[in-house]
Each structure stands twice: as C-alpha cells, then as structure tokens.
Amino acid sequence: MKKDLHPKWYPDAKVIVEGEVVMTVGATMPEINVEIWSGTHPFYTGTQRLLDTEGQVDRFMRRLQRREEMVKQQEVEEEKRVPLKLSVEEMSLGTRATNALQEAGVTIVGDVMDLYEQGEEALLALSGIGQKALIDIKRFLRAEGLID
C-alpha cells in the first residue's frame, strides 16, 4: 500500500463562523471557516426573514389580485353565456321572428326550448314564425348543444 495516500485527519477541527469557534468536528483541515451554519440559518432557528428585493412581493401580490379579478370576470361572462339564459335577440332569427317571439312572451332561449319540446307545431302556431324561422331556431339550438 502507498504511503501518504490519505490526507491528515484532524479529530478536533474547529468550525469558525464570523471569527467565533462554534463547534469542533473531525476533518482533513485544522480550521473550517463558514458563513452560515445550523445555529444561524433561518430554517433551523425558526426565525425566517422575508427580503423584499425591489418590491417583488408587492408585484407578485398585484399580479395575483389581477389574476383573481380576471377569473371572476370570466366566471361572470360564462354564466351570462349559459344558452338557456340568452335573450331571443341573440339567436339572430331576424326582426319578424324575434318580434313574434317577444309578442308571445318568449324572451329567453329557455322559453323557446320549452315551446320546442312541446313540438314544432307549438312554434309554428305563433304568428310570424314560419318554416325558415323554425329552421333558424333549430340551427341555433343545435349549435348551442341543446338538441341533437
């Protein structure tokens, strides 16, 4: 076996933090200088400091608040977009058919759906609703996924 292969072992090596000996350990150097050790590290001491470099926390909180506002706004828009709650004007049926539905007291798509479920004859019985309007109503209901 080669001689002087292993380094010299110091069983009482000093660990020095900021010029103060904090403990002794076994090492290959007689003195070990460190900046942080378990006695001063926030993770081990339980005293954690939050460093706000250039307002990063404030910027993050503003971004988080904007994101929450956007999500709320999208939820409101999606709720408005519920097909059964849409007004009859948004069906794009034409002036005559839209006016005929409104005169009959049908103001939202849910009301049109109720009439459609009674049968096509219920819709055709309304004055001002003809075959073309019926086709447009069915096309809209299919596009919104309300009928097959």
Task: Tell me the per-residue pLDDT of 38-70, one tens digit each, with 9 for 90 and over.
Answer: 787 777 777 766 666 678 888 889 999 999 999
Task: Tell me the per-residue pLDDT of 96-144, one tens digit each, with 9 for 90 and over.
Answer: 888 888 888 888 888 888 888 888 888 888 888 888 888 888 888 888 8
Under 8 Å CB-to-CB from 58, ≥6 apart: which residues? 52
Q: Mean pLDDT in the chain?
A: 85
Would you say residue 148 lies in a domain? no
Task: Tell me the per-residue pLDDT of 6-20, one tens digit each, with 9 for 90 and over.
Answer: 889 999 999 999 888
- pLDDT value at 27 more than 90: yes
Would you say residue 3 lies in a domain? no
Domain with 31, as residue range(s), is 10-45
CA angle 30, 34, 39 (to 5 degrees): 110
pLDDT for position 3: 81
pTM over 0.75: no
pLDDT for position 67: 95
Q: What CATH code is carried by the domain that includes residue 129?
A: 1.10.150
pLDDT for position 69: 95
- Tell me, yes or no, whether 122 and 98 share the same domain: yes
What would the two tokens of residue 43 be?
């993770």
From 79, 143, 84, 148, select the one nearest 115 (Cα to Cα): 84
- Tell me, yes or no, whether 110 and 65 share the same domain: no
Would you say residue 112 lies in a domain? yes
Domain tally, the chain: 3
What would the two tokens of residue 28 be?
């290959």
What integer is the mean pLDDT of 76-96? 80
- Tell me, yes or no, whether 77 and 126 share the same domain: no
* DSSP codes, 25-52: EEESSSEEEES--TTT-HHHHS------
In this structure, the number of other CB atoms found within 10 A of the CB of residue 94 comes to 13
Would you say residue 4 lies in a domain? no
